Amino acid sequence: MRLLGFAAATENASNGLLQHLALFMEYLLGAIGEVKRLSLCLMLRVNEEQFSNLMVRKINLCLKIPELESFTGQIKAFKIQRPSSGGDLPQTGEYTFPVARRVNSASAMMMGDDVENGNLGPYLDRPRTFPNMRSKPYTPLIFRILRGINVRVLVILLFLGFGYVFYIGASTSPIIVFVFSVCIVSFLLSIYLTKWVLSKDEGPPEMAQISEAIRDGAEGFFKTQYGTISKMALLLALVILSIYLFRNTTPQQESSGLGRATSACITVAAFLLGALCSGVAGYVGMWVSVRANVRVSSAARRSAREALQIAVRAGGFSALVVVGMAVIGIAILYATFYVWLGVDSPVPLLLVGYGFGASFVALFAQLGGGIYTKAADVGADLVGKVEQGIPEDDPRNPAVIADLVGDNVGDCAARGADLFESIAAEIISAMILGGTMAQHPSGFILFPLVVHSFDLVVSSIGILSIRGTRDSNVKVPLEDPMTILQKGYSVTIILAVLTFFGSTRWLLYTEQAPSAWLNFSLCGLVGIITAYVFVWITKYYTDYKHEPVRTLALSSSTGHGTNIIAGVSLGLESTALPVLVISVSIISAFWLGHISGLVDETGSPTGGLFGTAVATMGMLSTAAYILTMDMFGPIADNAGGIVEMSQQPESVREITDVLDAVGNTTKATTKGFAIGSAALASFLLFSAYMDEVSSFAREPFKQVDIAIPEVFIGGLLGSMLIFLFSAWACAAVGRTAQEVVKEVRRQFIERPGIMDYKEKPDYGRCVAIVASASLREMIKPGALAIVSPIVVGFLFRVLGHYTGHPLLGAKVVAALLMFATVSGILMALFLNTAGGAWDNAKKFIETGALGGKGSESHKAAVTGDTVGDPFKDTAGPSLHVLIKMLATITLVMAPVFL
């Protein structure tokens, strides 16, 4: 047969043509029937299993056959070009279908004219590969040490470790044993999820190459970034040690026998442990995302539901590890201090250093990762999409690998450290308040640990409730992914309500006030409802299914300026409802706690603040599932980039685009959730700060009068801090993006063959530029956040000393903290919502609305998305970390202000 003869003649030039032929014949099998299939297998000298393997090869190119006289006839003309559609074959006219292409063990991009003329040389010599960003795989030191230990020795060490943990737990309280058990079970479940995700295939080699390049860049940046953060953490630990060695002791510490040296060592050790655990949480988030992205891409070729399930379970692994580490870390510290010191109530104050260490690492991780991801994204979009008119994540764009790397270091690693810090700060603040409650406060102190233990349980059920499907249709998603995620969230919330009521009855029942537990249960219900409403509000303002984003997209049809105006106004408007919800939540929870019946020795009600703490716990009682939805976003985004770079059919890209758009919404909703929890947690930490100042000063410190000029100035400085921090964070993105833009433009000018696939872009250069610049740029805003409250408090302490106001420094810092919290909440809501709305307005137009991709509306929407990038992924997420870090740093540094 001439057809087979032609394939055999060209086999030496490219053995992939036989695969093209086989795949083309597969499209004819519907008419040929099963007999013809067996005949075809015999002619190609392959068995049916080998033939089926050829059919599932991944897609890079298309074989176009304008005319086919008969099955045994000859091919008059053919050309190979980039795929234009992933749909079914047309019934008439030219036939286009995707095929796999492997040349010299690497993918090559074939141009139509050269193939038609038989000139294959340039492509045989130019494999399309992606660079390694490191010389060897990076693994943190702690994991390298564990890997180097003999297995038997490691088992013995683990056995001894578990034995110690359960010994101190049993010596402290059966509640601690329960917490340890739940955390260990959750870790085992996370191992199962990891094995399940990693068992999925990575797709064809070209997908694996892209994923490896992303992994190399992410791990390389993580190593450098966290190396810098660790050095700063050690320096700050020395400062804390020096302060605590010379500070005064509180009456509680004196009564418990804690000296200065003991208190100093405990605080520094807790700070370093919190920083270490926060870093590990960030690494876990990054580790799973760079391995799950390619598996989601591969699954999208078969089923939208399978791709969704892989992304959710990968995010679930990270969430369970992060939340479990936060809970078990604080539980171990508490139990250790309790056993060593033999005291109960003063112990939570010793954990403040743990929260400060977690906040410190989370802030710099969020800043550095946010600058990295958005600088690369902005640079890639401005030159690639706007100037050159090429698609997003196009392999011709030199900044595309840096952009995909940024999704992992900015959205996964940073978010893992961020949520770890959020949970740690909330647990510690609630434990501090619980220590002042009732005559036997053990249940009140340990209640936050139990709530988050049940969080691990109910979130695990919610994650596992999202299951795959046998349907392999890759053309249209069977169900809206957001609907599926919302169903899992609804399951989690229902279970959270039930477990919360059980926890309050178990731990918060007291004979002093028999009905108090019911009031606190209602406080938790207020927090759960607040979380749900926050998620709904943010979804309303950022999902293109709703009116605000569609109105924003419509404004793009009249130009770039109107898009920016509409996006800014939408962001400003979006602050109203969340603030109203937070206000109602705080008042409701405080009132429920106030009337619970708990009183102090003087008969004054004491449950108000603790009611607010319980509401915060209720809001975070589904934190693991919320983090799962958040991690889902960058994993889906990366999967879409891999699909685009490996040039899969349009039907596959449609699936990843839908998942990406849903991921943008889930990321925005989790940021809104984090802001709400930060507001409630900061309120609790502010109260804890005032109590600590009162203990150190040995006099009441219940009110801060902003009518005092110095105190009012402190408030102004706190508000200014938020705006200046946001400005420096956004400016850092702008400066770094300018370097990326210059580099991408240079490569397009000096290598004109890039646009024709004749030259390969230098991806590594862009990665190096963004990595070095982001590490440099994160220092100034981070240092501003740490140094400002310390300097302000110390200066006004000196001023108060000379003017006869010994508590002036503490009052000014309290005003700074209060105003910074209020301004930070509003600014973070504005930045996160506006950025998410701009992004999804662009996604809405890319679905075909208002002219679709390449239209003037799309160009205006890209501009808005570019403006919103540093809003939603750099300055906005960093602000709620900043708010909580200001609260913890004032707690740790309180002696400096007195």
Domain positions in the chain: 173-468+477-896
Q: For 204, which DSSP code?
A: S
Q: What pLDDT sits at residue 459?
A: 92
Alpha carbon of 70 to those of 1, 28, 62, 79, 423: distances in Å? 11, 11, 21, 18, 68
Q: What is the pLDDT of residue 270?
A: 86
Tokens of 879: 């602000």
How is 689-703 classified by DSSP, letter by letter? Answer: HHHHHHHHHTS----
> Which residues in the chain land under pLDDT 50?
1-128, 133-135, 471-477
Distance CA 265, CA 97 (A): 68
Rounded Cα–Cα distance for residues 417 and 420 (Å): 5
Output the six-digit token pair for 167. Answer: 């010994």
Closest CA to 627 of 875, 284, 377: 284
Residues in the chain: 898
The DSSP letter of residue 92 is: S
Whole-number Å distance between alpha carbons of 315 and 630? 8
Whether the Cβ atoms of residue 883 and residue 824 lie closer than 8 Å to each other: yes
For residue 222, the model assigns a pLDDT of 80
User: Can you tell me the distance from the alpha carbon of 26 to that of 283, in angstroms, rounded to the nearest whole number?
Assistant: 45
- pTM for this predicted structure: 0.75
pLDDT value of residue 251: 61
- 33: number of Cβ within 10 Å: 10
pLDDT by residue (tens digit) across 489-534? 889 999 999 999 999 988 888 877 788 889 899 999 998 898 888 8
Phi, psi torsion values for 51, nearest 5 degrees: -65, -45
Q: For the chain, how far is it from start to end, CA to CA, in angstroms?
A: 95
Decide: 894 and 689 in contact? Cβ < 8 Å: yes
Q: How far apart are CA 802 and CA 596, in angstroms?
A: 45
Full DSSP string of 814-826:
HHHHHHHHHHHHH
Residues 6+ apart with CB under 8 A from 870: 370, 374, 378, 729, 730, 733, 734, 835
DSSP 606-665: -HHHHHHHHHHHHHTTTHHHHHHHHHHHHHHHHHHHHHHHTT--HHHHHHHHHHHHHHHH
Bridge partners (DSSP) of residue 513 are 510
Per-residue model confidence (pLDDT) at position 474: 42
Tokens of 95: 């036939």
Cross-strand partners of 79: 64
- Dihedrals phi, psi of 775, to nearest 5 degrees: -65, -35
- Using a 10 angstrom Cβ sphere, with 0-12 exposed, 13-18 middle and 19 or more buried, the burial of residue 249 is middle
Q: Please report the pLDDT score of residue 256 as a whole number.
A: 59
**CA gap 424, 352 in Å, rounded:** 9
Question: Can you tell me whether residue 98 is helix, strand or coil?
Answer: strand
User: By C-alpha distance, which of 157, 187, 199 is closest to 292?
Assistant: 199
Residues 6+ apart with CB under 8 A from 709: none
- Supply the pLDDT for residue 819: 92
